[in-house]
Amino acid sequence: MSRGRGWIPWVGLVAVVVAVVVWAVWPSGDQTDAERVRNITHQLRCPDCESLSAGDSQTASARAIRRDVTQRVAEGQSAATIKRAYVDRYGESILLEPERDGIGLVVWGLPLLVLVGGGVGLFFAFRRWRNAAPVHATEADEELVREMRRGDGAS
């Protein structure tokens, strides 16, 4: 690989990572009402449970949330409207994943910034290490090695 084109694999790697992330978060077409209810209730935390979604929990409050979400979906409310109603009632802690705006954007974006910053830092570090001038021993260094091999050096 020529020295001027060393950045091409990095650009390819970034393109692949971006493509995978976009593919992973891209919405997948039309959903049935039951799928919408399941998706929404799996994004809402059960108020009685520590780490279960309202879709997974079997508590009375989780069943009530599932019934309410089913009714709201049947009325034609959007997922954002339904989640906003629950955030207004219970606070941000009702969401299993933070929103992707405001402080939630920082929560989602900070790991990405750290990864990109680390990758850029490694790129420049490897580049500097690869282009470092070779170090040659001085005459004094070679004399010291000769003395140590003869056993004249102090230990």
Q: What is the pLDDT of residue 28?
A: 64
Whether 86 is covered by a domain: the verdict is yes
CATH number of the domain within which 90 lies: 1.10.8.640
pLDDT of 50 reads: 76
Q: Is the pLDDT of residue 20 over 80?
A: yes
Question: How does the average pLDDT of the chain come out, rounded?
Answer: 84
Higher pLDDT, 13 or 109: 13
Please state the pTM of the whole predicted model: 0.50
Amino acid, res. 86: Y
Residue 88 lies in a domain: yes
What does the pLDDT read at residue 99? 67
53, 16 contact by CB (below 8 A)? no
**What domain count does the chain have?**
1
Residues 60-115: tens digit of each pLDDT = 999 999 999 999 999 999 998 999 999 999 888 888 886 666 666 677 778 888 99
Q: What is the dihedral of CA 31, 32, 38, 40, to 10 degrees?
A: 60
Structural domain that includes position 68: 31-97
Q: In this predicted structure, what is the pLDDT of residue 63? A: 93
Q: What percent of the chain has pLDDT over 90?
A: 31
Domain presence at residue 117: no
Q: Say if residue 1's pLDDT is above 50.
A: no
Do 43 and 53 touch, CB atoms closer than 8 A? yes
